[in-house]
Amino acid sequence: MSLKLEKTLVILKPDALQRNLLGEIIARFEKKGLKIVGLKMIELEDVLLDEHYGHYKDKPFFAGLKNYMKSSPVIVMALEGIEIVEAVRLLVGPTKGRIADAGSIRGDYSMSVQTNIIHASDSSANAEAEIKRFFKDDELFNYKKIDFEFLYGDEERSELV
């Protein structure tokens, strides 16, 4: 079996910023062993949100969702690791914070369906599209990180393509 290093996109939403949780959440990703390959603060605009949440454009909550996402800057991050899309979704928890498992980011910090602290890509294909949507090529970094040999076992490292 071959394994691939993949990337996923995370957005720390306005409630994470307003509630002083940015450092705490980034620390969780670092401690898990996820490599940060892109990170910046941006203000989201309608064009980007219409694309990013396009699947919800006919929902009654769409306007409110956009206003919330524009209410302060957000942090966008590109993270890299083996099977990382699934790993990050597990760290994040399900959409509705109040039923998310304790220990997950939403389980620990959110009581809401809408203000649920964080976005994470839900598939490899979406992760690729979302990283393109939010980062230019020269905002993504390729560098050696010294913990790699301890984060993954020899079998996993040798199966990497």
From the CB of 69, what's the least distance to ligand IDP, in Å? 8
Strand order from edge to edge, sheet including 35-42: 35-42, 74-82, 5-12, 118-120
From the CB of 127, what's the least distance to ligand IDP, in Å? 12
Which 13-52 residues touch ligand IDP, going by CB under 6 A? none
Among the listed residues 8, 119, 121, 130, the single catalytic one is 119
Of 65 and 82, CB closest to ligand IDP: 65
Annotated active-site residue 55? The verdict is: no
Residues at the interface with Mg ion (CB under 5 A): 122
Give me the 135-154 binding string for ligand IDP, x by CB under 6 A, dash otherwise.
--------------------
Of 61 and 141, CB closest to ligand IDP: 61
User: What are the structure tokens assigned to 156, written together?
Assistant: 């996993």
Query: Does residue 71 touch ligand IDP according to CB under 6 A?
Result: no
The set of catalytic residues is 119
Give the interface with ligand IDP as residue ranges (CB under 6 A). Answer: 61, 65, 95, 113-114, 116, 119, 122
